[in-house]
Amino acid sequence: MPSPEFTATAIQNLIEEVHDRLRGRREGKVADYIPELAKADPEDFGIVVATADGHIYAVGDSDKEFTIQSISKPFAYGLALKLLGREHMHTKVGVEPSGEAFNAISLDPVSGIPRNPMINAGAIATAAQIWQHNPEAAEATLLGFLSDLAGRPLHVDENVYSSERDTGHRNRAISHLLRNFDVIESDPEGGLDLYFRQCAIAVSCRDLAIMAASLACQGRNPISGAEPLNADITIQMLALMGSCGMYDYAGQWLHDVGMPAKSGVGGGVLAVVPGRLGVAVYSPRLDPFGNSVRGIEVCEELSKRHGLHLYNQNPRAINTIRRSYTGSHRRSRRWRDATEVGILEKLGSRIRVVHAQGVLDFAATEQLLAELTAIAGQASVVVVDFNQVLELPPTSCSILLGQVALLRAKPITVLLSRADHLPSLAGLDHGLPTLPTIDAALEEAETILLQKERPELPSLQAPQPTILDGLDPDYRAILNPLLELTGFRAGEPAVQRNQSGDTLYIVVDGIFTTRIRLNLSNGTKKATRLSTFSSGMCFGEIGFLTGQPRTADVIADTDGHCLLLRREALDNLGRSRPEVVIALLRALSSELGSKLASASYQLTLLEHY
Ligand code: GLN
């Protein structure tokens, strides 16, 4: 029995070990140019890792609050992009690394705009834009936005705010310079005040890790599910963090650590492994660049020892093709008559089934298309199953549909299966049949193949010989009066679960399907089909032979007729003409035998495909 209180994980041990090892590092100095910041305890040290799956690993001072400072900059820029758009923001702030200190008074010599939103000049220009957009609501909007990313309501540390407001002469000078160049078009004090308040927002290391994880998830908070940002804006934020996030240390950082990151003079650092996780460190001693010494070391250590560098990408190990097989390896649960079985046995390999899996990004889509191309030569009908596909971005969807168009021109019939969960496909009018189960898709593929390969077959539902046709005509004549021809309407049950199983059904025409309810491992029930019968086949023979109640429902899929034989009638016949009963039972057992053989063959194949 697994112990419910088992929480130990090797990842937790790993960050504890890093924390332990770096705790002794005492280089650097707590920032004191904002007087209130000097009060921070230099020994504070917290590390939190938050993953894209919403797991959190925390060690040390992970819940102690400190001020966000410059870590607010990429987020404020993200908000400005959201409120005012990219075009507009690019006229106010550039996206080039400055290679200068965070508080450099650095503006583009030609345009006069700040080089990027990560240095103070760019961040003050950004805050001024947010403020100007709606002066009354600006602070609440920014706080709400950061709170959504952190997953809890954040507040401003009033002491740190007033401390910087009263001493931030350099930042005040920058804002007036921006006013001079018309980057700020109105009173610069409003935007400057918003900037000071944004820098004084109190956060914990845990908050920062969740904010970083939200950036790793293209703007979606992986814990709360809130989506304050979209992928497009998140990409721009990460790009700027990658090139400018660590100021004049940015080049070295990208080289050595390779994670988009942002530091603040409050002692926080956050770093992002896109698509995977966010890391945050809190340790107030800063290096001469204004970056947390231990913060940098933790990120460097995690990146180097655990391969988190952005440019350290493993060649794709994930196989997009979960399974790929032919229609002779796997059959639908539709029982076919002997002619059809013969055709499917011979030509089943012209049906190709490809199960894709994972996130179909560009590279994964390419793998899927390569498989579709490789099988096209032998295929007549192709089923693409999406059940295990987690995501199909619209760009991949259009490439995929382009490939489908090439296949259809060959001409190959393409069927999709289990794709309803993919909005990019479900929302398109692509005209491709999309089947709800792989079994339904296989059945459809078989039917299409049978029609394609044997167009002269009059109709797949024409009356076929039954087990009775194999009997001696005399015996048949004796049995005939015992058979009751019964009609069923589409949707009507022929057999119901738990009823007594005293009747044998021989299908004359129409289609009948056996349905059972499966108890799934997650506690839910699911209706699924066991098999489908058409003209010439029988069903109900197990209950008929064993006397056990029915274990499944059999429903008429179409209007149809069956010949019913009741066990009582057969028992009576057994007393006068046992040889007739024996002949019928023989025919039945041979039919059962071939069903069993085929079912166990399919089961065995399933293990291999
Ligand atoms: N509020 C601080 C300042 O403008 C932010 C600087 C930082 O964290 N690098 O000086």
User: In this predicted model, what pLDDT tens digit does every residue of 242-266 receive, in sequence order?
Assistant: 999 887 888 899 999 999 999 999 9
Is the distance from the beta carbon of residue 60 to the nearest atom of ligand 1 less than 6 Å? no
Is the distance from the beta carbon of residue 536 to the nearest atom of ligand 1 less than 6 Å? no
> 263: how many CB neighbours lie within 10 A of its CB?
30
Phi, then psi, of 514 in degrees rounded to 5? -90, 125
Q: Are 45 and 23 in contact (CB under 8 A)?
A: yes
Q: With 60 as the cut, is the pLDDT of residue 387 above it?
A: yes
Identical fold, 4-306 and 321-453: no
Is the distance from the beta carbon of residue 264 to the nearest atom of ligand 1 less than 6 Å? yes
How far is residue 608 CA from its own chain's centroid?
A: 26
Taking the centre of ligand 1 as the mean of its atom positions, its distance from the CA of residue 206, in whole angstroms, is: 21
DSSP-derived secondary structure letter, 316 = P
Q: What are the domain boundaries of the chain?
A: 4-306, 321-453, 467-606
Taking the centre of ligand 1 as the mean of its atom positions, its distance from the CA of residue 265, in whole angstroms, is: 6
pLDDT of res. 2: 46
Percent of the chain with pLDDT over 70: 96
In DSSP terms, 531 is beta-bridged to: 514
Is the distance from the beta carbon of residue 291 to the nearest atom of ligand 1 less than 6 Å? no
Taking the centre of ligand 1 as the mean of its atom positions, its distance from the CA of residue 171, in whole angstroms, is: 9
Q: Which of 30, 67, 70 to mutate to test the pocket of ligand 1 (most atoms within 8 A of CB)?
A: 70
Maximum average pLDDT range among 264-273, 360-369, 471-480, 499-508: 264-273
Is the distance from the beta carbon of residue 102 to the nearest atom of ligand 1 less than 6 Å? yes
User: pLDDT grade, residue 520 (50/70/90)?
Assistant: confident
Closest atom of ligand 1 relative to the 120 alpha carbon: 4
Closest atom of ligand 1 relative to the 171 alpha carbon: 4
Angle between the N-to-C axes of helices 394-408 and 362-376, in degrees from 0 to 180, rounded to the nearest 10: 10
Closest atom of ligand 1 relative to the 264 alpha carbon: 8
pLDDT one-digit tens code per residue, 151-178: 999 999 999 999 999 999 999 999 999 9
Instruction: In whole angstroms, give the CA distance from residue 584 to residue 573.
Output: 11
**pLDDT, average across residues 579-593:** 92
Taking the centre of ligand 1 as the mean of its atom positions, its distance from the CA of residue 150, in whole angstroms, is: 20
Superfamily of domain 467-606: Jelly Rolls (2.60.120.10)
Q: With 60 as the cut, is the pLDDT of residue 460 above it?
A: no
Q: With 70 as the cut, is the pLDDT of residue 6 above it?
A: no
Q: What strands lie across the sheet with 56-60, from one edge to the other?
A: 56-60, 46-51, 277-282, 268-273, 261-263
DSSP-derived secondary structure letter, 42 = T
User: pLDDT grade, residue 3 (50/70/90)?
Assistant: low
Residue nearest to atom 4 of ligand 1 (CA): 120
Maximum average pLDDT range among 62-66, 373-377, 505-509, 569-573: 62-66
**pLDDT, average across residues 439-468:** 79
Q: How far is CA 458 from CA 116, 320, 351, 449, 455, in A?
A: 73, 40, 22, 14, 8
Superfamily of domain 4-306: DD-peptidase/beta-lactamase superfamily (3.40.710.10)
Q: With 60 as the cut, is the pLDDT of residue 274 above it?
A: yes
Is the distance from the beta carbon of residue 290 to the nearest atom of ligand 1 less than 6 Å? yes
Taking the centre of ligand 1 as the mean of its atom positions, its distance from the CA of residue 70, in whole angstroms, is: 5
Q: Please choose, from the candidates 490, 514, 510, 500, the residue with its C-alpha nearest in 3D space to the C-alpha of residue 566.
A: 500
Is the distance from the beta carbon of residue 199 to the nearest atom of ligand 1 less than 6 Å? yes
**pLDDT, average across residues 273-302:** 96
Residue bearing the bigger pLDDT, 100 or 17:
17
Whole-number average pLDDT of the chain: 92
pLDDT of res. 462: 64
Is the distance from the beta carbon of residue 70 to the nearest atom of ligand 1 less than 6 Å? yes
This prediction has a pTM of: 0.77
Taking the centre of ligand 1 as the mean of its atom positions, its distance from the CA of residue 90, in whole angstroms, is: 22
Taking the centre of ligand 1 as the mean of its atom positions, its distance from the CA of residue 36, in whole angstroms, is: 13
Taking the centre of ligand 1 as the mean of its atom positions, its distance from the CA of residue 485, in whole angstroms, is: 89
In DSSP terms, 263 is beta-bridged to: 269
Instruction: In whole angstroms, give the CA distance from residue 203 to residue 143.
Output: 11
User: pLDDT grade, residue 352 (50/70/90)?
Assistant: very high
**Residue 17: which residues within 8 A CB-CB, separation 6 or more?**
none
**pLDDT, average across residues 74-98:** 96
Instruction: In whole angstroms, give the CA distance from residue 427 to residue 524.
Output: 28
Phi, then psi, of 91 in degrees rounded to 5? -80, -10
How far is residue 375 CA from its own chain's centroid?
A: 27
The type of residue at 332 is S
HSE, side-chain direction, 13 A CA sphere, residue 326:
15
Taking the centre of ligand 1 as the mean of its atom positions, its distance from the CA of residue 431, in whole angstroms, is: 56
By the 10 Å C-beta count (0-12 exposed, 13-18 middle, 19+ buried), 14 is classed as middle
Taking the centre of ligand 1 as the mean of its atom positions, its distance from the CA of residue 89, in whole angstroms, is: 21
Q: With 90 as the cut, is the pLDDT of residue 353 above it?
A: yes
> 43: how many CB neighbours lie within 10 A of its CB?
12
Q: What strands lie across the sheet with 512-519, from one edge to the other?
A: 493-495, 553-556, 512-519, 525-533
Tracing tokens 């705010």 back to the chain, one arrives at 161
Instruction: In whole angstroms, give the CA distance from residue 119 to residue 464.
Output: 81
User: pLDDT grade, residue 8 (50/70/90)?
Assistant: low
**pLDDT, average across residues 541-547:** 88
Cα angle 305, 307, 311; round to 5: 140
Taking the centre of ligand 1 as the mean of its atom positions, its distance from the CA of residue 273, in whole angstroms, is: 24
pLDDT of res. 10: 87
pLDDT of res. 456: 59
Q: With 80 as the cut, is the pLDDT of residue 455 above it?
A: no
Is the distance from the beta carbon of residue 295 to the nearest atom of ligand 1 less than 6 Å? no
User: pLDDT grade, residue 1 (50/70/90)?
Assistant: very low
User: pLDDT grade, residue 428 (50/70/90)?
Assistant: confident
Q: Please choose, from the candidates 395, 397, 400, 366, the residue with its C-alpha nearest in 3D space to the C-alpha of residue 382.
A: 400
Is the distance from the beta carbon of residue 265 to the nearest atom of ligand 1 less than 6 Å? yes
Q: With 80 as the cut, is the pLDDT of residue 379 above it?
A: yes
Q: Which of 72, 103, 118, 246 to mutate to test the pocket of ligand 1 (most atoms within 8 A of CB)?
A: 103
pLDDT of res. 329: 86
Written as six digits, the tokens of 150 are 């952190």
Q: With 50 as the cut, is the pLDDT of residue 103 above it?
A: yes
Percent of the chain with pLDDT over 90: 74
The dotted CATH code for 321-453 is 3.30.750.24
**pLDDT, average across residues 593-607:** 81
**pLDDT, average across residues 310-315:** 84
Cα angle 206, 212, 217; round to 5: 125
Q: With 60 as the cut, is the pLDDT of residue 381 above it?
A: yes
Residue bearing the bigger pLDDT, 425 or 235:
235
Q: List helix spans (H) across 200-230.
A: 205-216
In DSSP terms, 56 is beta-bridged to: 50
User: pLDDT grade, residue 317 (50/70/90)?
Assistant: low
pLDDT of res. 601: 82
Instruction: In whole angstroms, give the CA distance from residue 378 to residue 251.
Output: 53
Q: What strands lie across the sheet with 560-566, from one edge to the other?
A: 484-488, 560-566, 503-509, 538-539
pLDDT of res. 523: 83
pLDDT of res. 516: 85
Closest atom of ligand 1 relative to the 71 alpha carbon: 8
In DSSP terms, 271 is beta-bridged to: 261, 279
Closest atom of ligand 1 relative to the 123 alpha carbon: 4
Q: Please choose, from the candidates 491, 486, 535, 532, the residue with its C-alpha nearest in 3D space to the C-alpha of residue 509.
A: 535
**Lowest-confidence segment of 99-108, 249-258, 451-460 by average pLDDT:** 451-460
Instruction: In whole angstroms, give the CA distance from residue 150 to residue 154.
Output: 8
